Amino acid sequence: MPTKPGPILVTGANSGFGLGASLRFASRGWETWGTVRSPEKADVLFEAARKAGVGELVHPTVLDVSDHDAVIDMWDDLPPFYGVVNNAGYSEMGAIEDVTAAEAKRQLDVNLIAPAVVASCALPAMRKRGSGRIVMVSSMFGRVAIAPLQGWYHASKFGLEALSDVLRMEVAGFGVKVAIVEPGLFKTGIEESARSIASERIENVSSVYREAYRRSVGAADVFTRFAPPPDIVARTIVSAVESRRPLRRYVVGADAAIATATPLVPKVFTDAATRFLTGLSGPGSDNPAD
Ligand SMILES: NC(=O)c1ccc[n+]([C@@H]2O[C@H](COP(=O)([O-])OP(=O)(O)OC[C@H]3O[C@@H](n4cnc5c(N)ncnc54)[C@H](OP(=O)(O)O)[C@@H]3O)[C@@H](O)[C@H]2O)c1
């Protein structure tokens, strides 16, 4: 196996894409640091790495990337990374009318600000080396806003796409390449965490969106049952780091390929379809211009 140019950091490494990518990096000979939010989750990552026969290459690191000061404070204790994968994220499921400012800020802290903070911390070493890779795990929902009740998730991922495009231009001259990964729906822990947020909202008797939450959770259950396992996304993340010329964007999954083409479909159709699915198909607007 050829010598690697340096170690890799994966955020949110105990579950889903982050776990898959960490194990795959290590199986290909990369020293891999993975952030997790608790010692128990560090054990999950450590045990998975041990079972995969790569225990000595995987270094679980307890760090909540949404605590931006903690990321900066810990950075001096970490090695100079060749690649960072900003993967940690969740969906703050909720109608825009229901989501509080604090909940919205938390969503942006995790999905948008943390990737910028991690990238900023990693860049000085990458510039010094004259090479590096930053992978941003976005979503098909970073390209098209088609999911009612996921407004803040959409906003976080649209923001991440914009930020990544700008970062790519800013750091290209230093030999650092930025790639965005845009998965469709895959079977990971994210659906369960969104469902638990939705369940709390269903309990809120003053919300007029309770039925929509119920229907969304029901639809998500069905879609998730047929969703593919996360392996192909993990492979894509690793190839975005290993490729000499990574793509700017990797669309992963048939649903993502279709969704990212929906800007070509008139909004009147996509609005009607998504409102029907969530039960938000009330009388709608009287304005024929809508
Ligand atoms: N699965 C999909 O269908 C899909 C599709 C498109 C994009 N994505 C994106 O893929 C990335 C990985 O998600 P996944 O699907 O692999 O989900 P996952 O299995 O739930 O893993 C998410 C990871 O992010 C961490 N995380 C969640 N909330 C956090 C918070 N508040 N602060 C810090 N870390 C947090 C989790 O840590 P804990 O275990 O401690 O919560 C976990 O390690 C996310 O950015 C997500 O938006 C997923």
The protein residue whose alpha carbon is closest to atom 16 in ligand 1 is: 16
CA of 128 to the centre of ligand 1 (A): 31
Q: In the annotation, is 250 catalytic? A: no
CA of 137 to the centre of ligand 1 (A): 9
150 pocket-lining for ligand 1 (C-beta < 6 Å): no
Strand pairing report for 58-62 and 176-183 = unpaired
* Among 90, 153, 209, 213, the one annotated catalytic: 153
Residue 272's pLDDT is 86
| CA distance linking residue 32 with residue 36, whole number of Å | 13
Residue 285's pLDDT is 44
Residue 274's pLDDT is 83
Residue 269's pLDDT is 84
Q: Predicted confidence band at 268 (pLDDT cuts at 50, 70, 90)?
A: confident
Give pLDDT tens digits for 83-103: 999 999 999 999 999 999 999
Residue 284 has pLDDT above 60, yes or no: no
Angle at 239 between CA 127 and CA 224, to 5 degrees: 120
Residue 289 has pLDDT above 50, yes or no: no
Domain boundaries, the chain: 8-188+230-265
Average pLDDT, integer, range 147-166: 97
Mean pLDDT, the chain, whole residue set: 94
Residue 283's pLDDT is 58
Provide the H-helix boundaries in the chain.
16-27, 39-51, 68-75, 101-108, 114-129, 151-171, 190-203, 210-226, 231-242, 254-259, 267-278
The percent of residues in the chain predicted with pLDDT above 70, rounded, is 97
CA of 278 to the centre of ligand 1 (A): 23
pTM (two decimals) = 0.95
Give pLDDT tens digits for 116-141: 999 999 999 999 999 999 999 999 99
Residue 77 has pLDDT above 80, yes or no: yes
16 pocket-lining for ligand 1 (C-beta < 6 Å): yes
Residue 290 has pLDDT above 60, yes or no: no
SS3 287: coil
The CATH code that applies to domain 8-188+230-265 is 3.40.50.720
46 pocket-lining for ligand 1 (C-beta < 6 Å): no
